[in-house]
Amino acid sequence: MAKKCGTRARFQDFRWLRDPGEGASSAIDRPSAGPNRRFVDQVTGKLLFFVALFAIVTVLFIIVFLLRDGYQVFFEVGIWNFLAGQDWNPAGRHPAYGVLPLITGTVLVTALAMVIAVPLSIGSAIFIAEIAGPRIKTVVKPAIELLAGIPSVVYGFFGLILLTDWIRIAFDQPSGSSWLAGSILLAIMAIPTITSVAEDAISSVPREFREGSLALGANHWQTIKNVIVPGALSGISAAVILGMGRAIGETMAVLMVTGNAAVIPD
C-alpha cells in the first residue's frame, strides 16, 4: 500500500515538473479561465445571433417595401398578364408590365453560361487539386480566387468593349450585343467561384481513398474519375449552385453586353 502511494506521489511530482515555469499559483489560477471562456462564448453566440437576426429582418423589410409599392400592378394588370406578358415598358404613355422576356432571358443566359462554365471550372479544379505541382498551384489558385473579387462593372466594361465587338465580327452580325455575349460574360464571372469551391471539395477527399484505389491497380486518371470526383460530388454540386446563384444575380454586366432590351432572343 505504501509503495502504491509513493508511486502516485512521484507521478504527481512529475506532472508538476512536466510544465516548467508554472507553479502552484498557475494551477490555482487555471480554473478561472473556464468561467471567462464561457462568458466570451455566450457573448459571441448572442452577438452572432443578433447579426443573423438583423440580416433576416433587413431582407423582410426589403420584401415588404417591394410589395407595398408594387402590389397595385397586380390589380391593374393581373397576375397572368404580369407573368406571361411580352411587353415591358413601364415608362411609356401606356405602361406595360410583362416580365416574361425578363424571366426567359435570365433563364437562357444562365443556362448557357453554366454549360460553358461548369466543365471548365471542374476541369480547372481537378487540375489544381490533383495534377498541378506545388509551384503551379501556389500561382494558379490565388490568381483564380483573385478573379472572383473583380467588380461586375469591370467585367461588363471589358465585355462591352471587346466581347461584343468580337462577336459582331466573328458572326457577321450588325451588333454583338446578344444572348451569347451575356452567357460568355457570366461564364467568365462564375468560373472563379465554382473552381475555388470545387477545388476545396476535391482536396478534402480523404487520402485513404486515393491510396486504396491505387493499391487495387487503378491508375491516376481512373482514381480521379471513379473515386475522387464521386467522393467530392456534394461539394462540387454546392460549387455549381453557388456559381449559378452569382450568374442569376448579375444584372449590370449582363445589361451592358446584351443590349438592355427586354426581348426574347431568337
Is 0.85 topped by the overall pTM? no
Write out the chain's pLDDT in tens, 266 residues: 444 454 444 444 444 444 444 444 444 444 455 678 888 888 999 999 999 999 999 999 999 998 888 888 888 888 888 888 888 888 777 888 888 988 998 999 999 999 999 999 999 999 999 999 889 999 999 999 888 888 888 999 999 999 999 999 999 888 888 899 999 999 999 999 999 999 999 999 999 998 999 999 999 999 999 999 999 999 999 999 999 998 888 888 888 898 888 887 77
Tell me what pLDDT residue 17 has.
46
For residues 122 and 59, what is the distance between their CA atoms, to the nearest angstrom?
A: 33
Q: Give the chain's count of helices (H) and strands (E).
A: 14, 2
Residue for grid cell 460530388: 233
For residues 167 and 159, what is the distance between their CA atoms, to the nearest angstrom?
A: 10
C-alpha cell at 161: 468593349
For residues 103 and 95, what is the distance between their CA atoms, to the nearest angstrom?
A: 18
The domain made up of 99-258 has a fold known as MetI-like fold (1.10.3720)
Tell me what pLDDT residue 14 has.
46
Residue for grid cell 485513404: 208
Residue 11: which residues within 8 A CB-CB, separation 6 or more? none
- Residue 10 near residue 3 (C-beta atoms within 8 A): no
Q: What is the dihedral of CA 105, 106, 110, 111, to 10 degrees?
A: -50
| DSSP line for 25-46 | HHHHHGGGHHHHHHHHHHHHHH
Tell me what pLDDT residue 33 has.
54
- Residue 259 near residue 185 (C-beta atoms within 8 A): no
| DSSP line for 43-71 | HHHHHHHHHHHHHHHHHHHHHHHHHHHHH
The DSSP 8-state label assigned to residue 92 in this structure reads S
For residues 96 and 193, what is the distance between their CA atoms, to the nearest angstrom?
A: 37
Tell me what pLDDT residue 208 has.
92
Tell me what pLDDT residue 80 has.
87
For residues 54 and 48, what is the distance between their CA atoms, to the nearest angstrom?
A: 10
Tell me what pLDDT residue 34 has.
67
- Residue 99 near residue 85 (C-beta atoms within 8 A): yes
